[in-house]
């Protein structure tokens, strides 16, 4: 045992070695490789040593980090004893908690743990390491597995497969208590919020990472395919800046590296990839703004045009813009030589949906967290009309549902401690998400069209079957023929004859990707301009799908028609006339099914002639037809309604007898129909 004085490490380079630095006369490196530092009788620390002439004899150099860990002070005297590891004292793995040494220099740059692990084993090969305050030591070898964990509260951004368990920072206050909320009866609502919004933050990051969707940015995939430089990905709004000239400067910065490389290497320059998301946010048409604008949008467009098609245009840049509002983009950017290759991404077909589901469930399958009963092909069938983003959302919602099984909402949030080993995403989780969480923007889901035909269509006569057959022919015509304008059909008939149900039934039977109901019910209180914009948006959305069906219900109500006056909205009328006759883009097919109870009124407005086909929907007018309805419905005790019709002595309910007699067969039929409808609704 040698008593030695603690001094500072003689150089920063030696401080980074994690070794104690001694004089060669105290410990010869040929005979002593490791030493034990004893600060008291109970505690010892093992270090690998290095020799340096900068350390006086009888002293030992400690770095600041070492002094903090061993709790020794400068100029104090400690006991240092040579130490020898036993045979087999080699570390099979080591986990390192990583953080910034100087908090002021923290940043969000990504640090690849795979490269860090490689450097760690190279730099600290054959050195001893201890775990915390315990004397559990071992030596680093080339085969030691090194994992890095982020220290609690650290902003360090770790990436790579050598990333260990991250320190979990709960987003829920530890002293939170539901009983202190002061709001009762909201257990279900809170449970849903926690499941959808916070479930992934309540579980350890390594568990969530295994469930991750495995999404790879399209930009990076294109970059790998084309062997480009690291792609630059920017969202349109990030370019804009409130200070004069900064927005244009941000555009120039995107091209700066490519310009510099072009000057140095000319045609041998590498390809630079720039991805512009939300492209329409900064490249709106320069003719859309009035003179009172700031002109920032115009300047940004002009700067971008100068870079991609200016005097010093670059041939080492691939610019990709992404938008869902092509109509807003300045025409100058879409001309040949600029963004001339324009690709429209439509809804994925069934095979495409299978591929998207496979991508977003890849990690779950890799870590065996996807139950065997999950049939991706069946899910692809059920997710008709889903976009890729909506399918990704469906997978996340299913994961949240699976995680929610291990969250208990009592006074606080309690998580099953064995949840990490038990979590499995099951078939039922996906179908719960389909039913309750994720609905496609396209298709009938957002309009609840099924409610209009909940009881089915009763074919009470040949007329109804003929109408349905005509509808099938029109749908087939829309599907197969090369049309340039929408196929339009108007169902007209008396109030209550079932026009809306027939129109919705046709639409649902079409199985088109886009089905939308344009109903006055959804425009209550709208001014004329707002109503026109809503109707136009429905037709614009239909233009994004190859096959579309729009049901324009109760047209006279859309036009605000009233018999007193008469009064109607000419603005909405003109909008409908234009949209019903608008030309379709190549490859687009649209059928419009309208309904009205006032054909004569619409005829006088000139809107009936805008429809290619007009079909009359009759009402029930005979006893035999009503019997057919009753036999189809097959309800108990409906025979009494038939007996009322056949009873020649029945003259209606007592409430009618004081005012008028029910002598005519048509009036008797009307009353019985009313009774029947009330009875069926009650059942």
What confidence tier does 55 reach under pLDDT thresholds 50, 70, 90?
very high
Q: Which pLDDT score is estimated for 439?
A: 79
> Rounded to 5 degrees, what are φ and ψ at 315?
-110, 15
Domains recognised in the chain with CATH numbers: 2-83 (2.40.40.20), 90-159 (3.10.330.10), 178-333 (3.40.50.300), 350-437 (1.10.8.60), 451-616 (3.40.50.300)
Is the pLDDT confidence value at 655 over 50?
Answer: no
Is the pLDDT confidence value at 620 over 90?
Answer: no
CA geometry: angle at 514 spanning 511 and 329, to 5°?
A: 155
Q: Which pLDDT score is estimated for 165?
A: 56
What is the per-residue pLDDT across 222-257, written as a single tens digit (0 to 9) for each? 666 666 777 787 877 777 777 777 888 888 888 888
Calpha distance 614→606 (Å, rounded) = 13
- Is the model more confident about 405 or about 568? 568
Q: Which pLDDT score is estimated for 290?
A: 46
Calpha distance 399→415 (Å, rounded) = 15
Using CA atoms, how far residue 488 sits from 307, 381, 474, 577, 611, in Å, is: 47, 29, 9, 12, 5
> Rounded to 5 degrees, what are φ and ψ at 148?
-115, 130
Percentage with pLDDT > 90 across the chain: 9
Is the pLDDT confidence value at 60 over 90?
Answer: yes
Question: Which residues have a Cβ under 8 Å from the Cβ of 231 and sit 6 or more positions away?
Answer: 217, 219, 220, 222, 223, 273, 274, 275
The conformation of residue 143, written as its DSSP 8-state character, comes to T
Question: Which residues have a Cβ under 8 Å from the Cβ of 654 and sit 6 or more positions away?
Answer: none
What is the per-residue pLDDT across 187-201, written as a single tens digit (0 to 9) for each? 555 556 555 555 555
Q: What average pLDDT score do residues 140-156 get? A: 70
The conformation of residue 586, written as its DSSP 8-state character, comes to T
For residues 609, 612, 617 and 618, what is the CA-based torsion angle, rounded to 10 degrees?
60
Which of 495-504, 594-603, 626-635 has the highest mean predicted lDDT (pLDDT)?
594-603
Q: What is the DSSP string of 630-678?
A: HHHHT-TTTHHHHHHHH-TT----HHHHTT----SHHHHHHHHHHHHHH
Beta bridge partners of 518: 552
Which of 60-74, 85-99, 207-221 has the highest mean predicted lDDT (pLDDT)?
60-74
- Is the Cβ–Cβ distance between 348 and 388 less than 8 Å? yes
Is the pLDDT confidence value at 539 over 80?
Answer: yes
What is the per-residue pLDDT across 65-82, written as a single tens digit (0 to 9) for each? 888 888 888 999 888 889
* Average pLDDT along the chain: 76
In angstroms, how far apart are the furthest CA atoms of the chain? Answer: 130
Q: Which pLDDT score is estimated for 141?
A: 67
Calpha distance 18→586 (Å, rounded) = 70
Calpha distance 223→23 (Å, rounded) = 54
Q: What average pLDDT score do residues 440-452 get? A: 65
Q: Which pLDDT score is estimated for 566?
A: 75
Find out whether the peptide bond into 531 is cis, omega within 30 degrees of 0.
Answer: no
Which residue in 475, 455, 470, 467 sits closest to 502, CA to CA? 467
- Is the Cβ–Cβ distance between 441 and 346 less than 8 Å? no
What is the per-residue pLDDT across 484-499, written as a single tens digit (0 to 9) for each? 889 999 999 888 788 8
């Amino acid at each position: 045992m040698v008593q030695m004085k603690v001094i500072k490490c003689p150089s920063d380079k030696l401080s980074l070695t994690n070794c104690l630095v001694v004089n060669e006369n105290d410990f010869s490196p040929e005979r002593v490789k490791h030493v034990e530092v004893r600060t008291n009788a109970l505690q010892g620390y093992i270090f690998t040593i290095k020799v340096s002439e900068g350390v006086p004899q009888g002293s030992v150099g400690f770095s600041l980090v070492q002094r903090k860990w061993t709790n020794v002070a400068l100029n104090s005297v400690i006991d240092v004893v040579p130490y020898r590891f036993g045979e087999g004292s080699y570390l099979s793995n080591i986990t390192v908690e990583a953080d910034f040494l100087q908090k002021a220099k923290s940043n969000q740059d990504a640090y690849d743990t795979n490269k860090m692990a490689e450097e760690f084993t190279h730099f600290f090969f054959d050195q001893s390491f201890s775990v915390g305050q315990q004397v559990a030591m071992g030596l680093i070898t080339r085969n030691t597995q090194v994992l890095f964990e982020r220290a609690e509260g650290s902003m360090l951004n770790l990436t790579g497969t050598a990333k260990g368990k991250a320190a979990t920072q709960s987003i829920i206050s530890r002293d939170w208590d539901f009983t202190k909320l002061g709001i009762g009866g909201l257990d279900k609502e809170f449970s849903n919020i926690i499941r959808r919004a916070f479930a992934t933050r309540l579980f350890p990051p390594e568990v969530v990472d295994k469930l991750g969707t495995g999404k790879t940015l399209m930009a990076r995939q294109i970059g790998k395919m084309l062997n480009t430089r690291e792609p630059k990905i920017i969202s349109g709004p990030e370019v804009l800046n409130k200070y004069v000239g900064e927005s244009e400067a941000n555009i120039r910065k995107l091209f700066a590296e490519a310009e510099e490389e072009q000057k140095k290497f000319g045609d041998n320059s590498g390809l630079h990839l720039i991805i512009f998301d939300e492209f329409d946010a900064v490249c709106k048409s320069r003719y859309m703004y009035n003179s009172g604008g700031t002109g920032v949008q115009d300047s940004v467009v002009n700067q971008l045009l100068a870079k991609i098609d200016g005097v010093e245009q670059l041939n080492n840049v691939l610019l990709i813009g992404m938008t869902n509002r092509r109509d807003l983009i300045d025409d100058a950017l879409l001309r040949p030589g600029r963004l001339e290759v324009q690709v429209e991404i439509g809804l994925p077909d069934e095979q495409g949906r299978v591929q998207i589901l496979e991508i977003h469930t890849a990690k779950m399958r890799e870590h065996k967290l996807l139950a065997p009963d999950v049939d991706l092909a069946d899910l692809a069938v059920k997710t008709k009309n889903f976009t890729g983003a909506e399918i990704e959302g469906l997978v996340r919602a299913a994961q949240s549902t699976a995680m929610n099984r291990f969250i208990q909402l009592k006074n606080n949030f309690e998580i099953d401690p064995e949840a990490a080993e038990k979590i499995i995403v099951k078939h039922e989780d996906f179908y719960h998400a389909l039913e309750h969480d994720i609905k496609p923007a396209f298709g009938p889901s957002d309009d609840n069209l099924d409610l209009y035909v909940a009881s089915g269509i009763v074919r009470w006569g040949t007329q109804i079957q003929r109408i349905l057959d005509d509808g099938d022919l029109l749908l087939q015509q829309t599907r197969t023929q090369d049309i340039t304008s929408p196929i339009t059909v108007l169902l007209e008939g008396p109030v209550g004859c079932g026009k809306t149900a027939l129109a919705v039934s046709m639409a649902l039977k079409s199985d088109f990707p886009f089905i939308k109901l344009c109903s006055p019910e959804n425009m209550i209180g709208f001014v004329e301009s707002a109503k026109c914009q809503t109707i136009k948006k429905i037709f614009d959305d239909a233009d994004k799908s190859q096959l579309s069906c729009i049901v324009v219900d109760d047209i006279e109500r859309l036009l605000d028609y009233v018999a007193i006056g008469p009064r109607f909205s000419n603005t909405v009328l003109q909008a409908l006339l234009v949209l019903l006759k608008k030309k379709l883009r190549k490859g687009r097919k649209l059928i419009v099914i309208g309904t009205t109870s006032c054909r004569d009124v619409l005829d006088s407005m000139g809107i009936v002639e805008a429809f290619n086909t007009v079909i009359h929907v009759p009402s029930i007018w005979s006893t035999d037809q009503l019997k057919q309805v009753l036999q189809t419905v097959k309800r108990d005790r409906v025979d009494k309604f038939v007996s009322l019709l056949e009873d020649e002595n029945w003259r209606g309910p007592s409430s009618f007898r004081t005012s008028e007699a029910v002598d005519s067969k048509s009036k008797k039929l009307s009353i019985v129909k009313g009774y029947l409808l009330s009875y069926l609704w009650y059942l």
